[in-house]
A and B are shown apart, each in its own frame.
Chain A
Amino acid sequence: MERFRHIVQIVSALLANCRLWITPSSPIYKGPLKHICFPGLNCYSCPAAPWACPLGALQNVFASLKASLAAGKMNLGLYVIGSLGMVASLVGRMPCGWFCPFGLIQDLLFKIRLPKIEFWRPLSIGRYISLFLLVFVLPLWFVDSFGFGQTWFCKYLCPAGTLEAGIPLLIMSPELRTAVGALFFGKLGILSLFVIWSMVTTRPFCRAVCPLGLLFGMFNKVSWLRLRFNQGTCVDCHACELVCPTGVLFATGKDDINSTKCIRCLRCYVLCPGGAVTIEFSSIMKGENLDIEGCNRNQKQGET
């Protein structure tokens, strides 16, 4: 399962950045696919990206809301919110574990053999700060005389933008290099911090900062796909907590198994020797939850 997930992550990262005909005269893709938001953190200014970034699109909605309303135009971000909500209502935060290119980068960096350190759990409050403050409030609140705000998360924090767009564009475009200032070096510092942190801690960006992950994670408890922890069959080995990349401590009761932190990588489900973690799909036809506990156990026995 883990190998399959890595294959899906790699294929997804390639799909998210599948524009191969990059030329200095046309550094970013301008075709029709840019109407669609990719369900993961992938900067739309990346030369190889043919999709829009949902977080960038969402911030742009809030940053230009006042101006567009003043101009008599309705752009409330329904399209972006709706498309994100459709994915989240089906699988919750699963895109983080399976599709997000920046998640893959963090997973690969963690494979480097270095001493590992535990994530300090209170830092997860940062996700709420970055979502509500940098994505919603500040772009909406601080506007110029024309009514336009800034994309605060992209501008001051997003390391994916620096890695996927900033560095490649500066390599490709000499004229952009002359405009580089302190902000770029500050963002380079943030990127370096997360690169180093990812080598010693699993998914630090997803756990401490990512507003998109929080948006998806808010649906973990109500999505069509959910996880279930059966305390009765738990053998107290705590293997699930040891392998969880985002530190969801459901076996000890500190977290709910469908917590906003869970990226649905399904490592706990695969590794649980007692079959205490099961996958549950809501049956939309009969009005009942489809309990596939027995199916899960049979499948695991078949795998082993």
Chain B
Amino acid sequence: MKSRTPLLFFIFFCLVTVAGIVLGEPNDVFQKAVTICLSCIGID
């Protein structure tokens, strides 16, 4: 395993995260996370 692999992975995922932020994905995470997930707690 080349030692630069972790760095390359880290940079890649940083870029993926930034792309997600640019596309406004944290707001989608937020919208789901602020509502009670009834199915999560077994109420359908």
Q: Are the chains A and B members of one assembly? A: yes
- Taking beta carbons and an 8 Å cutoff, which residues of A are in contact with B? 27-30, 32, 34-37, 43-45, 51-53, 56-57, 60-61, 64, 74-86, 88-90, 150-151, 154-155, 158, 161-162, 165-166, 169-170, 176, 179-181, 183-188, 219, 221-224, 282-284, 287-289
Q: Tell me if A45 and B40 are in contact (CB < 8 A).
A: yes
Contact A74 B37 (CB under 8 A): no
Within 8 A of A (CB), among B15-44: 15-21, 23, 25-30, 32-34, 36-44
Q: Are A222 and B43 closer than 8 Å at their CB atoms?
A: no
A154 CB contact (under 8 Å) in B16, B18, B40: B40
Of the candidates B2, B20, B36, B42, the one whose C-beta lies within 8 Å of that of A27 is B36
> B11 to chain A: closest CB distance in Å?
9
Cα of A238 to Cα of B38 in the assembled complex, Å: 46
CB distance from A44 to the nearest CB of B (A): 4
Of chain B, the residue at the smallest CB distance from A92 is B6
| Contact among B5, B25, B34, B37 with A282 in the assembled complex (CB-CB below 8 Å) | B5
B29–A34 CB distance below 8 A: yes
Min Cβ gap A179→B in Å is 5
Q: How far is the CA of A184 from the CA of B2 in the complex (A)?
A: 48
- Check A86 against B17 for contact (C-beta < 8 Å): yes
**Roughly how many angstroms separate A169 CA and B42 CA in the complex, as a whole number?**
11
Distance between B5 CB and nearest chain A CB, rounded to angstroms? 5
Distance of A29 Cα from B23 Cα, bound (Å): 24
Q: Per a CB cutoff under 8 Å, which of A64, A86, A158, A288 touches B14?
A: A86
Q: Is the CB of B10 within 8 A of A57?
A: no
Would you list the 6 A-B pairs with minimal beta carbon distance, nearest first?
A: A79-B20, A82-B17, A85-B13, A184-B42, A78-B20, A166-B41
**A79–B42 CB distance below 8 A:** no
Q: A52 contacts B30, CB within 8 Å?
A: yes
* 8 Å CB contact of A79 from B21, B32, B36: B21
* B3 in contact with A79 (CB, 8 Å): no
Cα separation A81 to B9 with both chains bound (whole Å): 12
Given the interface contacts A75-B28, A85-B12, A169-B36, does A284 sit within 8 Å of B7 by beta carbon?
Answer: yes
Chain B nearest Cβ from A71, distance in angstroms: 12
CA A288 to CA B4, docked complex, whole Å: 8
* A37→B26 CA distance, assembly (Å): 9
Contact yes or no, B40 A80, CB < 8 A: no
Q: Tell me which residues across on chain A come within 8 A of B39, comparing CB atoms.
A: 150-151, 154-155, 183
* Of B2, B17, B44, the contact of A83 (CB 8 Å cutoff): B17
B1 contact from A34, A166, A169, A221, Cβ within 8 A: A221
Contact status of A28 and B40, CB under 8 A, knowing A79-B25, A85-B16, A86-B13: no
How many Å lie between the Cα of A138 and that of B1 in the bound state?
34
